[in-house]
Amino acid sequence: MAEIAIKKKRPKNLDIPTIRMPLPSVLSILHRISGAVLFLLLPCLLWLFQQSLASPEAYAAAKAVTSNVLVKIVLLGLLWLYMHHFCAGIRYLLLDLHKGVDLQPARFSSKVVFAVSIALTLIVGAKVLL
């Protein structure tokens, strides 16, 4: 029913290379991607959490799994997705409170989000993955 009202053809631009992606829009799409990927990998993360707490033996077994370089890279990637979602999420909460909505502050805060989330990823990654 609701669609009936929207009959007018609206312009569409699907000429991908000409679409500009300023940093705030990269941040935005990464926020969605990070949420979706973290959701899909929740079983793996819950399993790791369970093993790491179950017993010293299970902890050691989990450590052995994460000592694999490929696993390490994937986990570091997930950590970054989480940190990005976390920092970008806080930025959205502030935007919802009408803080930093103007173009310049919004551009600046998206740079801050990338810088802080990458820094946190490296610091936490060094602590739990090395």
Partner 1 sequence: MINRIVVGAGYGLKDWIVQRATALIMAVYTLILLVALGAMGPGGYEAWRAIFANGFMQFMTFLFFVSLFWHVWIGVRDIWMDYAKPDGLRLVLMIATAAALVGYAGWAAKILWRL
Residues that bind ligand HEM (CB under 6 A): 31-32, 35-36, 38-39, 42, 85-86, 89-90, 92-93
Residue 7 binding: pick among ligand HEM, partner 1, none (C-beta 5-8 Å cut-off by kind):
none
Name the segment binding partner 1 (CB under 8 A); options: 20-28, 38-46, 68-76, 106-114: 38-46
Q: Which of 38, 19, 21 is nearest to 89 (CA)?
A: 38
Backbone angles phi, psi at 28, to 5 degrees: -65, -45
Q: Does 100 bind partner 1 (CB under 8 A)?
A: no
Judge whether 92 and 98 are in contact, CB under 8 Å: no
Query: Residue 93 and residue 88: Cα distance in Å, rounded?
Result: 9
Q: Does 128 bind partner 1 (CB under 8 A)?
A: yes
Q: Name the residue nearer to ligand HEM (CB basis): 36 or 123.
A: 36
Residue 99 binding: pick among partner 1, ligand HEM, none (C-beta 5-8 Å cut-off by kind):
none
Q: Does 42 bind partner 1 (CB under 8 A)?
A: yes
Q: Describe the crossing of helices 42-54 and 56-66 by its angle, rounded to 10 degrees.
A: 140
Tokens, residue 120: 């946190």
